[in-house]
Amino acid sequence: MKAVITVTGKDTVGIIADVATVCAKHHANILDITQSVLSEYFAMIMLADIDNLNIEFSAFIDVLEKLGEGRGLVIHAMHEDIFNTMHHI
């Protein structure tokens, strides 16, 4: 099972480090990252394996959202199936 984590907001030092730390703490294995910064606007999409999460996926979503709120970012984690279903036959 994989999750897509999206992070958007004003660019500051250490965004990836913070998100990666939360992932590591809860045993989400980061598989891929794509990120860009457009005139100080930070956007990142991360794919993480969540088979071995040490908390419920819904709790993991909450932890990430809270991290985002604390740093002025919007962080969402969604199950990859919604993207696969919508865009792949």
Partner 1 sequence: MINTQDILETINMIREENLDIRTITMGISLWDCVSEDTDRLCTRIYDKITRRAERLVETGAEIEKMYGIPIVNKRVSVTPISLIGGEASPEGYIKIAHTLQRAADTLGINFIGGFSALVQKGMTKGSENMISVIPEALAETRNVCSSVNVASTKAGINMDAIALMGKEIKRAAYLTKDENSIACAKLVVFANVPEDNPFMAGAFCGIGEPEAAINVGVSGPGVVASAIRRAGDCNLSELADVIKKTAFKITRVGQLVANEAARRLDTPFGIVDLSLAPTPAVGDSVAHILEGMGLESCGAHGTTAALAMLNDAVKKGGVMASSHVGGLSGAFIPVSEDAGMIAAVERGALTLEKLEAMTAVCSVGLDMIAVPGDTPEEIIDGIIADEIAIGVVNTKTTAVRLIPAYGKVAGESVEFGGLLGKAPIMNLNTYSPAKFIRRGGRIPAPIHSLKN
Contact residues: partner 1, CB under 8 A: 4, 6, 31-32, 34, 45, 47, 57-58, 61, 76-87
Q: How far is the CB of 37 from partner 1 (least distance, A)?
A: 15
Q: Minimum Å distance from CB 86 to partner 1?
A: 5
CB of 41 to partner 1, least distance (A): 13
The three-state (H, E, C) secondary structure of the chain, written as one string? CEEEEEEEEECCCCHHHHHHHHHHHCCCEEEEEEEEEECCEEEEEEEEECCCCCCCHHHHHHHHHHHHHHHCEEEEEEECHHHHHHHCC
Residue placing its CB nearer to partner 1 in the complex, 28 or 77: 77
60: number of Cβ within 10 Å: 23
Nearer to partner 1, 41 or 83 (CB): 83
Give 52 or 84: the residue with its C-beta nearer to partner 1. 84
